[in-house]
Structure 1
Amino acid sequence: MSTLDDLRRIAARLPGSEQRATTGGAAWFVRGKLFAWECHPWPSIPVDMRAIIAAELVVGVKVADPIDALALVEMAPDVFLRTTTSWGEPKVAFRMQGIDEQHLAELVTEAWRVQAPKYLRAEFDAVAG
């Protein structure tokens, strides 16, 4: 099970990443673009998904394509939520209790890549090798 502290540590390693407090909780941005966030049970979220978000820690991340989100939901429907809201697409939300730290790192890093400018991705790749 991963925690917000794990997410903070992963995001801190990504060039240009910054954490901000938002109305719904913690959120991570790169050059002003949102790439990961703590989900909040907004009224616009379907009731069944809202109940999950209200009961446990759920995080959302940007994905490159809606197909990527669908694949994750189909791969692990007990971890990845089928839908939250239509705004901010493409994205996927997941229950942190079902994600290990390695998978969290992959999800957050890929979300960062979707939003990061090319020069920051190149900087990260040069350091990561």
Structure 2
Amino acid sequence: MSTIDDLRRLALALPGAHEVTYKGDPWFNVGKKTFALVQGGRAILKLDRGHQELLFEIRPETFEKCPVATVYWSWVELAHLDEAELADLLLEAWSQIVPRKISRPVLEAARTRP
């Protein structure tokens, strides 16, 4: 079971990540781009489109569509995730907004960790 504190700790451990506050809620950015945020006590993550569509279908109790502009992000019930899964999802969200030359070595290192 993960919490907002877990999300904060794991998100801020990613390269270049920092926290900003918007309307009292924490948002996690690299530069001015957001990859995760909390709104109304729920997490919202910017996941790969194909992956999130799969998650919406197979785990609707944990992942739900969250319309943002013309795309969907994912509402995520943190209590349904363990820390390892949350860490993987945050890494995916982070990799959606940073240049590939930055994300590639971090993703490769993550694949080789036990």
The aligned runs of 1:5-24 (5 Å cut-off) are: 5-23=5-23
Q: Relative to structure 1, is the Cα distance of residues 74 and 16 closer, same or farther in structure 2, using a 3 angstrom cutoff? A: same
SS in 1 for 2:61: coil
Q: Relative to structure 1, is the Cα distance of residues 110 and 88 closer, same or farther in structure 2, using a 3 angstrom cutoff? A: farther
Distance in 1 of aligned mates of 2:98 and 2:61: 29
Aligned-pair distance for 1:90?
3.6
Q: Deviations over 1:44-99 (max 9, x none)?
A: xxxxxxxxxxxxx310111222x322211112111112x33342624111111111
Q: Relative to structure 1, is the Cα distance of residues 122 and 85 closer, same or farther in structure 2, using a 3 angstrom cutoff? A: closer
Q: Relative to structure 1, is the Cα distance of residues 126 and 103 closer, same or farther in structure 2, using a 3 angstrom cutoff? A: closer
Distance in 1 of aligned mates of 2:101 and 2:43: 27
User: What runs of 5+ residues in structure 2 fail to find an aligned partner?
Assistant: none
Matched, 1:76 2:65: no
Q: What is the root-mean-square deviation in Å for CA atoms of aligned residues?
A: 2.0
Aligned-pair distance for 1:127?
5.9
Q: Relative to structure 1, is the Cα distance of residues 84 and 64 closer, same or farther in structure 2, using a 3 angstrom cutoff? A: closer
Aligned-pair distance for 1:120?
2.3
Q: Alignment length, in residue pairs?
A: 111
Distance in 2 of aligned mates of 1:17 and 1:100: 21
On the 8 A contact 1:16/1:120 being kept in 2, the answer is no
Partner of residue 85, structure 1: 67
Partner of residue 93, structure 2: 111
Q: Relative to structure 1, is the Cα distance of residues 88 and 35 closer, same or farther in structure 2, using a 3 angstrom cutoff? A: farther
On the 8 A contact 1:25/1:38 being kept in 2, the answer is yes
Q: Which runs of 4+ in 1 moved over 6 A?
A: none
Q: Relative to structure 1, is the Cα distance of residues 95 and 33 closer, same or farther in structure 2, using a 3 angstrom cutoff? A: same
Matched, 1:94 2:76: yes
Q: Relative to structure 1, is the Cα distance of residues 70 and 125 closer, same or farther in structure 2, using a 3 angstrom cutoff? A: closer
User: What runs of 5+ residues in structure 1 fail to find an aligned partner?
Assistant: 41-56
1:96 alignment partner AA: L
Q: Relative to structure 1, is the Cα distance of residues 80 and 126 closer, same or farther in structure 2, using a 3 angstrom cutoff? A: closer
